[in-house]
């Protein structure tokens, strides 16, 4: 029966080519637009560390001592002292500090001109905590953090640029005025978003594309970087002006990000208590005024709170699906026109004994076939749409691609839309009274 319906569907589609092309176009264009935006949405709203994100937390405190300035929520990052206190307490399974700053980089014994790159100041736990993949060498040890070792881990792209992709472990990099030894080279790594740096989303007015930038190119122990790149650090915010710009260790500024890993709910609850106790203790020492203002969101909560997916992308997705709805109505109309024109054929089939269900199934098969064709066109248009997105001046342009899931979704959505569009016309066709049709012939 399936083969017979398929054969009839192909014949029917061939019979009226213009109408078929119009229907395939309508579905294809609608699917292309909505799948392009949906794919971007899927890439931007995914979990950057599946399976692990629930164990990563971001402790937040409110170190601003100004009594009259009460914040509804703590600031997104911390001052140096609070961050160091929490980090060195080692109360979590793993904990790390993260700070970004621009630095001038020259590789010894290469003729690549000096580069201005982003430096990530962090601690030993960063690499295992965030599953950062290594190509050569490894990260540094807690001892290196302690001794302010002049060591660095570099990104795959920097390794390609400076050393042609060769194993550069042991070679020297000149960071501003300091020589550091390369001890590790990462594999290509492109978390989406750059989750460990996400902060300040609530001030971005939905313009959050910058959260999807590339990871930094040079990673250096936090303690060492404070000496190497002193004067180049940027504050998130300050409650009073720093004396020396860029030198923030003793400045009244919030600029250090803290992440902790807590294996289970019990540990998370314990850490929450520890954080509250720490803030209370700092209040009794006179350093904090708003001690009750602490939070411990996990990674996904933090991304949600910052509204990481740019509002432009949301908007485009809404528009594309509204457009798909227009295409759906369009297809319903075209199918109805097509099916009801074939009243005579339906009458003959019914008179020869076909049930209403059989007629319904036959026409639904035809619409499903339109759906498959529309899916192929939609897939091609999605590829074209994504290549357009790749040429847009957005930070996430380079990682836009169609993965297997979205490829399958394209066809699933296309067939679902065509069946939805075909249900009403096929039902109307199956209700055609055979006698009336035969009489008019």
Partner 1 sequence: MRIILAPLRRHSLMPVLVLLQVALACAILCNVFFLAWQRLQPMLAPSGVDADNLILVDNLAAQGRTYTAAESVAGEDALRAVPGVRAASSGFGLPMVSIASIMVNLQGPTHTAVGVNAFFGKGLVQTLGLQMVTGRDFLPSEYRPWGLGASNGSNSDWDTGVTQPVIITQALADKLFGAAPAVGQLLADPDPADKSDHGYQVVGVVKHLLRNEIGLATDGRADYTVLLARNIGNTAMLSYAVRVDPAMRDIALQGVKNAIKRQFGGANAGGAQARVQTYNEKRNDAFKSSRAALWLLLGMVLAIVIVTLVGIMGLTGFWVQRRTRQIGIRRALGARRAQILCYFFAENLLIVSVGILLGMALAYAGNILLMHYYELPHLPWMYLPVGAAVMLVIGQLGVLAPALRATEVPPVVATRSV
The CA distance from 388 to 302, in Å, is 30
54-59-64 Cα angle (round to 5): 155
Return the residue of 327, 346, 365, 400 that touches partner 1, per CB under 8 A: 327
Return the residue of 3, 17, 111, 205 that touches partner 1, per CB under 8 A: 205
Nearer to partner 1, 142 or 315 (CB): 315
Nearer to partner 1, 227 or 277 (CB): 227
Contact between 306 and partner 1 per CB under 8 A = no
Q: Between 381 and 400, how does the x/- string for binding to partner 1 read (CB under 8 A)?
A: -----------xxx------
Nearer to partner 1, 258 or 309 (CB): 309
Q: Which of 102, 59, 330 has its CA nearest to residue 229?
A: 102
| CB 318, min distance to partner 1, A | 7
- No. of H helices and E strands in the chain? 14, 11
Contact between 154 and partner 1 per CB under 8 A = no
Q: Note if the bond before 140 is cis, omega within 30 degrees.
A: no
Contact between 315 and partner 1 per CB under 8 A = yes
Pairing state between β 115-122 and 218-221: parallel
* Torsion sign over Cα 254, 260, 265, 266: negative
Half-sphere exposure of 185 (CA within 13 A, CB side): 20
Contact between 247 and partner 1 per CB under 8 A = yes
Nearer to partner 1, 166 or 424 (CB): 424
The CA distance from 87 to 82, in Å, is 9
Contact between 323 and partner 1 per CB under 8 A = yes
17-to-13, 22, 26, 339 alpha-carbon distances in Å: 6, 9, 14, 14
Contact between 266 and partner 1 per CB under 8 A = no
User: Which residues are CB-neighbours of 203 under 8 A, at least 6 positions away?
Assistant: none
| CB 203, min distance to partner 1, A | 12
Contact between 174 and partner 1 per CB under 8 A = no
Return the residue of 71, 202, 318, 433 that touches partner 1, per CB under 8 A: 318
Q: Which of 22, 46, 37 has its CA nearest to residue 382?
A: 37
| CB 95, min distance to partner 1, A | 29
Q: Note if the bond before 392 is cis, omega within 30 degrees.
A: no
| CB 244, min distance to partner 1, A | 7
Half-sphere exposure of 295 (CA within 13 A, CB side): 17
| CB 210, min distance to partner 1, A | 12
Nearer to partner 1, 244 or 380 (CB): 244
Return the residue of 166, 322, 408, 436 that touches partner 1, per CB under 8 A: 322
The CA distance from 23 to 1, in Å, is 25
Contact between 33 and partner 1 per CB under 8 A = yes
3 state DSSP class of 119 = strand
Nearer to partner 1, 248 or 279 (CB): 248
User: Which residues are CB-neighbours of 439 under 8 A, at least 6 positions away?
Assistant: none
| CB 174, min distance to partner 1, A | 13
Return the residue of 334, 370, 373, 426 that touches partner 1, per CB under 8 A: 334
Task: Name the segment binding partner 1 (CB under 8 A); options: 27-35, 78-86, 286-294, 357-365.
Answer: 27-35
Contact between 26 and partner 1 per CB under 8 A = yes
Q: Give yes or no for a contact between 25 and 377, defined as CB atoms under 8 angstroms apart.
A: yes
Half-sphere exposure of 161 (CA within 13 A, CB side): 17
Widest CA span of the chain, in angstroms?
98
Nearer to partner 1, 171 or 338 (CB): 338
Query: In the beta sheet, which residues pair with residue 11?
Result: none
Return the residue of 206, 252, 297, 344 that touches partner 1, per CB under 8 A: 206
The CA distance from 219 to 173, in Å, is 12
Nearer to partner 1, 391 or 401 (CB): 391
Binders of partner 1 among residues 99 to 118 (CB under 8 A) are 104, 116
Nearer to partner 1, 64 or 125 (CB): 64
52-to-279, 290, 299 alpha-carbon distances in Å: 27, 32, 9
Residues in contact with partner 1, counted by CB under 8 A, come to a total of 48
The CA distance from 128 to 237, in Å, is 29
Binders of partner 1 among residues 44 to 103 (CB under 8 A) are none
Q: Which residues bind partner 1 (CB under 8 A)?
A: 19, 22, 25-26, 29-30, 33, 104, 116, 176-177, 205-207, 230-232, 241, 244-247, 311-312, 314-316, 318-319, 322-323, 325-327, 329-330, 332-334, 336-337, 340-341, 392-394, 428, 440
């Amino acid at each position: 029966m399936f083969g017979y319906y398929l054969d009839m569907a192909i014949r029917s589609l061939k019979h009226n080519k213009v109408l078929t092309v119009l229907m395939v176009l309508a579905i294809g264009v609608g699917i292309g637009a909505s799948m392009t935006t949906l794919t971007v949405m899927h890439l931007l709203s995914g979990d950057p560390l599946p399976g692990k994100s629930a164990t990563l937390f971001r402790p937040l405190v409110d170190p601003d001592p100004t009594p009259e300035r009460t914040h509804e929520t703590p600031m997104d990052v911390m001052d140096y002292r609070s961050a160091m206190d929490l980090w060195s307490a080692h109360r979590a399974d793993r904990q790390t500090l993260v700070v970004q700053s621009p630095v001038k980089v020259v590789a010894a014994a290469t003729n690549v001109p000096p580069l201005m790159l982003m430096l990530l100041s962090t601690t030993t736990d960063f690499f295992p905590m965030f599953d950062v993949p290594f190509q050569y060498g490894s990260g540094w040890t807690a001892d290196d953090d302690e001794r302010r070792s002049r060591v660095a881990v570099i990104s795959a792209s920097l390794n390609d640029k400076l050393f042609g992709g060769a194993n550069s472990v042991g070679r020297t990099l000149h960071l501003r005025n300091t020589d550091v030894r390369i001890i590790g080279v990462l594999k290509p790594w492109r978390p989406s978003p750059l989750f460990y740096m996400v902060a300040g989303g609530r001030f971005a007015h939905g313009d959050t594309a910058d959260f999807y930038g590339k990871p930094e190119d040079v990673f250096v122990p936090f303690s060492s970087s404070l000496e190497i790149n002193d004067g180049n650090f940027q504050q998130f915010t300050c409650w009073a002006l720093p004396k020396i710009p860029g030198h923030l260790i003793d400045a009244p500024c919030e600029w250090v990000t803290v992440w902790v890993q807590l294996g289970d709910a019990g540990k998370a609850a314990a850490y929450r208590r520890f954080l509250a106790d720490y803030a209370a203790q700092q209040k009794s020492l006179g350093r904090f005024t708003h001690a009750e203002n602490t939070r411990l969101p996990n990674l996904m909560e933090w991304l949600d709170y910052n509204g990481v997916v740019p509002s432009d992308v949301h908007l485009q997705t809404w528009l594309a699906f509204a457009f798909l709805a227009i295409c759906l109505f369009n297809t319903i109309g075209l199918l109805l026109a097509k099916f009801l024109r074939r009243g005579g054929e339906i009458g003959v089939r019914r008179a020869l004994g076909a049930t209403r269900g059989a007629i319904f199934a036959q026409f639904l098969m035809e619409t499903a076939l339109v759906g498959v064709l529309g899916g192929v066109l939609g897939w091609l248009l999605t590829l074209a749409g994504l290549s357009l997105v790749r040429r847009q001046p957005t930070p996430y342009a380079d990682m836009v691609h169609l993965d297997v899931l979205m490829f399958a979704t394209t066809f699933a959505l296309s067939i679902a839309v065509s069946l939805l569009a075909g249900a009403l016309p096929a039902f109307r066709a199956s209700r055609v009274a055979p006698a009336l049709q035969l009489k008019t012939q």
